[in-house]
Structure 1
Amino acid sequence: MADADNSLRQAMSTVEGAIGAALVDYGSGMALGTVDGGGGLDLTVAAAGNTDVVRAKLRTMEMLGLNDGIEDILITLSSQYHLIRPLTSRSGKGLFLYLALDKRRANLAMARHQLAKIEAELEV
């Protein structure tokens, strides 16, 4: 099991093209931990903004009567991928992992796989 800081560092070192990672509380919008890969991304702003994305999707699922969970959310920009992965463990309820990737260097399938592995090993 890994703590939040080690998990975020692992994401940055093992996911090709990673430019920033955060563990976020979507109740408050606060980043509980961040690791910046030098990409110039303000991870506290990203945490707050992506909290709105997660909340909106959860509300929409509830209105649609979908009894399901979010595995991950992908936002594709012209030069970046942004992955949001809500934690599924009881201790991680209300939290999500956020990973920003350089689109030219990232392998999206491998990034999703690695983020799922990091989530499984994360202890919060």
Structure 2
Amino acid sequence: MSDIKSSLVEVMSIDGALCTSLVDASSGMVLGEEGAGVDMELAAAGNSEVVKSKLKTMKSLGIGESIEDILITLDSQYHIIRPMASQKGLFLYLVLDKEKSNLALARRKVQNIEENLTV
């Protein structure tokens, strides 16, 4: 089991990682962050709305599953939002440089880190 700081440092070891944070989706507040390049307070608030909106849509559609991750692909970046299975209401957020990262490997590593993170 890993704490917030060491887990976020581990996320930053992923090839192409620019910045990462652990976010409380209900409040949009950052619980921890590493790296630079994105205003994490603003990103946390906005991505909390993305998660809430997707959950609301899934409920309306009668989809009783959970979100594994949400991928947002930009011209030069990947943004991964990974809700924590063990800590409902929290999610890991990672921004990757598209040219320097392997998306499949990054998603797998974020999953492993999320599974071992304790809050």
TM over 0.5: yes
CA RMSD, Structure 1 to Structure 2 (Å): 0.6
- Mapped to 2, the partners of 1:41 and 1:114 lie a distance apart of 21
Structure 1: 4+ residue segments shifted above 6 A: none
Give the CA deviation at 1:44: 1.1
Give the counterpart letter for 1:121 in structure 2. N
Give the counterpart letter for 2:23 in structure 1. V
What number of residue pairs does the alignment pair up?
119
Q: Which residue in the other structure is 1:45 paired with?
A: 42
- Where does structure 1 lack aligned partners over 5 or more consecutive residues? none
1:114 to 64, 87, 109: 109
- Where does structure 2 lack aligned partners over 5 or more consecutive residues? none
- Mapped to 1, the partners of 2:101 and 2:41 lie a distance apart of 22
Give the counterpart letter for 2:27 in structure 1. S
Give the CA deviation at 1:93: 1.0
1:25 maps to 2:41: no
Q: Which residue in the other structure is 1:11 paired with?
A: 11
Scaled by the length of structure 1, what TM-score is found? Answer: 0.94
The percent of aligned pairs where both chains have the same amino acid is 55
- Mapped to 1, the partners of 2:75 and 2:5 lie a distance apart of 29
Give the CA deviation at 1:94: 0.5
